Structure 1
């Protein structure tokens, strides 16, 4: 257990904590793999994982974690400090591999299977990951194969996808979709491929590994890279465990049986890794997985399992809210939806509320904080449009963007964080590590303020701030105004060069099906909600807006598109 530093700055949020939650509670920093194996031992017959109806008990999960850890040590020489890359969608293989790597003493390096080979090459080469664990689905395997051929990875451990399916689906997949599987025996790197199932079957007992939770790295998590080359955030065993403990305390029992947590967000993303996998499994709670988001499949999960907790991103909640096919009966089992990853608009919140009586709690975090920093209450209503309150054991402050001096209540500044969940730095990048902190506080790059009750409100990202004629313009303010129009389904605002004002906002808009409105009519609507400085220079209508691989609206592609269009003129 870690003892928190209570030499406190002012913490107005403590008075607003829901009943039963204490800020200076002891934080559990036991390594996550020890916690999950303990949970398996407490109730081995309970269901741990549900994947499309194929279930894995906690007892079976423990056996496979231990066997896989032993094989990693004895076949591949994995030891403390070894980097092992995971390139897996949500399947039972992921938690077995993740906890197995940690039990063997290794460090997990998460890789998004949808990344390009170029992006994966940077991550695996930078991390020095000798071993990669992946699937034999051709579209994923061929990327792993290229990484080995290029010398970025030495060996592959390959999981046979049909083994994750229920018996009937396994047979049908083998018959109807066999062409989707890679022919490993014909692979040019066949001699460097090990089979996951064979490694488990060896049933080897792993050697003991003594973990120093505060100094040994559990996960080297690469940031998204939307503003440059991805950096590997070094998250210790204590960082990961501390954030689990903080979320557990904040949940007031939400993440314990008989709850069931839906994992439609990918485990390779830090939000899902912590909230959808680590927290529930370490509490003996069932995790119901989907390999990707499909609305019909998600609704089937609620009907079949009566799951009650849904961590989500706003685009997923928006898809549910806007679907004519979804009614309240289909979401009747849902008690709590937790939105993270991007700002949740008031319109999405209101539309979702028409489809579900669940508490919709917005949270906030970043990779460098393992990731959760703030969250709205999960058992009772919270202040609208707020990202909630700092979690137990977490300190925050807001500082002036230009001077770095703390600002007062209600004044906008950069959000900065201290707490046991905060990383030590970035792997092999001392300059970026120094820049990430100010006087020991983690810089988030997000601008916002705290009210007198300690509730936190975000305005925008510093990097997205638009300087118009010397005035600060926040894209999120314009986006909120646009989203209030009945015809607008999605919107994203960027800053573009402007000869007169220096910069000016440009809005990209996707309209709802069956709705039409012109640029001038939409600007007239905005004129009642925005000042002249905030008014978009141009509104561009599109059939679809670009998104990141976890479903966040992305400004990067829009900036590139606008620059290319401007260059042609």
Structure 2
């Protein structure tokens, strides 16, 4: 069994493990920072600055505009947005109203988005007039129960000079907002005095965010994160930084729709009264320019981002002197990459770990002092971890033995949206208490540092994004030539892992009408960008269990054997 008291006495984080985190609502967190730091810059968007007072005014106007349209407490408000100021105003505006935010990934296909709208009951969707987003959002509006789109303009959020250049030279990236009663301009929505009737919020009971995840089984589910969950994790993450009272300027290149960025870029920085340097999407050169221009102090990311920055031509000429801390998550951090980054930049790069179901963060290596390479660090304050038997989750493993990591803490979700049976499977009762099953197998050393050694779930981690083989296999089976299909994750130097499909063909396929290249060309356009496979391998047969079920485990063993 895990001796929690032993490692807590050797805690490396600057805040004691035993910390008081009373329930707090997201509007209260936001209001407290706005009151203390009204004139401070909260957002730097490609050189245009927005103060805390300005963002708070925008959020109130969003809330008032939504209220005028008939929306209120408990309604699901969707955000289909990149990292733009509209996201922050819409996020806090919906929360001020007492509504529940639902994050939608711009990487999703129309079918995936429609499913998420229907599953969550999302009534309103915020997006922008980008050609990569608006046409997709309009299809979702037509094919789902969605009632309204709110459409913002990227050019309107830019500094005047950049706005003009954007309009003149990047017009092809802009889609025209249609003349449709169901479509409202963001500027029209916020054309009000910001007055609205605020609803009382119960931080413990009221759901602030529905974050879609595959959980431990692979089927997309909406993790219900309460106000208390999100504010607790923001405080837990903020407490890890021994320099949190100094200049705090964080590069927001991670997408805010991802739970990692929601906690570590957005909520944590607002709690600190810091500044977010928002970038619409990750472009290595733009990130490097932003670090030099803004004298950024923090850069959270996934391993593929750090590798892309190192590989960029501007890397050697970037001024990293202001950068104190970089936190990697979403996928295992290779030791060689960590060492190369730290040697070149002088900034510490530490690895953390968490899930959508835990509001983002469960563990992290210390920002200063000792860290344990190859581990995901110690639990963040107020978080408990135990290891249970991989076959019987109700039984703890012996000290030093690997087991499934289970977690308990104020950041752990309330359950899955409309999926009580899935929520029941996601938790296990130990000594009369509920613990979240992570699906990851780990070991915990005597100092409380955790190492992930295996994975119970089939999820593939592609650059920090979760990809579920069963969803790709379902699409493969729509091809008339395919008889059987298995998708596995293969190591990839840049993205960590990449999906690869292995198939057998029906006898009716004919004279090689569907070889691997042809199937690849057919499959990838039907997948989200992060789901796309690197190859479709045609085989004479795929391994099966004794009862005839396709065996992903045995296929991986065969692949490893073939590779020598």
Instruction: Provide the C-alpha distance between the structure 1 equivalents of 2:232 and 2:494, rounded to a whole number of angstroms.
Output: 42
1:171 positional shift: 0.6
Q: Is residue 2:140 matched to residue 1:147?
A: yes
1:71 positional shift: 1.0
1:284 positional shift: 1.0
- Is the CA contact 1:16–1:453 (under 8 Å) kept in the aligned structure 2? yes
Aligned residues: 485
Instruction: Provide the C-alpha distance between the structure 1 equivalents of 2:103 and 2:40, rounded to a whole number of angstroms.
Output: 28
- Is the CA contact 2:109–2:528 (under 8 Å) kept in the aligned structure 1? no
Q: Is residue 2:121 matched to residue 1:131?
A: no
* Residue of structure 1 in register with 2:348 after alignment: 359
1:10-159 correspondence runs (5 A): 10-18=4-12, 20-75=14-69, 77-159=70-152
1:87-486 correspondence runs (5 A): 87-186=80-179, 190-224=180-214, 228-254=218-244, 256-323=245-312, 325-327=314-316, 330-404=319-393, 405-439=395-429, 440-464=434-458
**1:75-129 superposed Cα distances (whole Å, 9 cap, x missing partner):** 2x22221000100000011110000000011000000112110110111110001
Instruction: Provide the C-alpha distance between the structure 2 equivalents of 1:401 and 1:416, rounded to a whole number of angstroms.
Output: 11
- Is the CA contact 1:359–1:381 (under 8 Å) kept in the aligned structure 2? no
TM-score normalised by L of structure 1: 0.80
Instruction: Provide the C-alpha distance between the structure 2 equivalents of 1:349 and 1:203, rounded to a whole number of angstroms.
Output: 49
1:550 positional shift: 11
**1:233-260 superposed Cα distances (whole Å, 9 cap, x missing partner):** 0111111111111112222343x45110
**1:189-220 superposed Cα distances (whole Å, 9 cap, x missing partner):** x1111111122221231202100001000001
Instruction: Provide the C-alpha distance between the structure 2 equivalents of 1:148 and 1:452, rounded to a whole number of angstroms.
Output: 53
1:168 positional shift: 0.7
The residue matched to 1:417 in structure 2 has which SS?
A: strand
Q: Which has the higher contact order (CA 8 A, sep 6+)?
A: 2
1:402 positional shift: 1.7
The residue matched to 2:404 in structure 1 has which SS?
A: strand
The residue matched to 2:322 in structure 1 has which SS?
A: coil
**1:380-423 superposed Cα distances (whole Å, 9 cap, x missing partner):** 33111111101111110011102332123321110000111111
**1:536-563 superposed Cα distances (whole Å, 9 cap, x missing partner):** xxxxxxxxxx9xx9998x7x846x834x
Instruction: Provide the C-alpha distance between the structure 2 equivalents of 1:224 and 1:48, rounded to a whole number of angstroms.
Output: 32
The residue matched to 1:45 in structure 2 has which SS?
A: coil
Instruction: Provide the C-alpha distance between the structure 1 equivalents of 2:258 and 2:390, rounded to a whole number of angstroms.
Output: 29
1:227 positional shift: 6.1
Instruction: Provide the C-alpha distance between the structure 2 equivalents of 1:46 and 1:437, rounded to a whole number of angstroms.
Output: 42
**1:452-495 superposed Cα distances (whole Å, 9 cap, x missing partner):** 11111111211359xxxxxxxxx99xxxxxxxxxxxxxxx9x9x
- Give the 3 Å change call, closer, same or farther, for CA 509–378 of structure 1 in structure 2: closer
- Is the CA contact 2:216–2:457 (under 8 Å) kept in the aligned structure 1? no
The residue matched to 1:250 in structure 2 has which SS?
A: coil
Q: What are the ranges of 5 or more consecutive residues in structure 2 without an aligned counterpart?
A: 462-466, 470-485, 496-523, 544-564
The residue matched to 1:245 in structure 2 has which SS?
A: helix
Instruction: Provide the C-alpha distance between the structure 2 equivalents of 1:445 and 1:160, rounded to a whole number of angstroms.
Output: 41
Instruction: Provide the C-alpha distance between the structure 2 equivalents of 1:551 and 1:334, rounded to a whole number of angstroms.
Output: 31
TM-score normalised by L of structure 2: 0.80
- Give the 3 Å change call, closer, same or farther, for CA 381–322 of structure 1 in structure 2: farther
RMSD between superposed Cα atoms in Å: 2.9
1:165 positional shift: 1.0
The residue matched to 2:220 in structure 1 has which SS?
A: coil
Instruction: Provide the C-alpha distance between the structure 2 equivalents of 1:408 and 1:226, rounded to a whole number of angstroms.
Output: 23
Instruction: Provide the C-alpha distance between the structure 2 equivalents of 1:192 and 1:511, rounded to a whole number of angstroms.
Output: 42
Instruction: Provide the C-alpha distance between the structure 2 equivalents of 1:567 and 1:78, rounded to a whole number of angstroms.
Output: 54
1:73 positional shift: 1.1
- Give the 3 Å change call, closer, same or farther, for CA 336–566 of structure 1 in structure 2: farther
- Give the 3 Å change call, closer, same or farther, for CA 462–93 of structure 1 in structure 2: same
- Give the 3 Å change call, closer, same or farther, for CA 168–284 of structure 1 in structure 2: same
1:36 positional shift: 1.4
1:72 positional shift: 0.8
* Residue of structure 1 in register with 2:481 after alignment: none
1:51 positional shift: 0.8
- Is the CA contact 1:340–1:364 (under 8 Å) kept in the aligned structure 2? yes
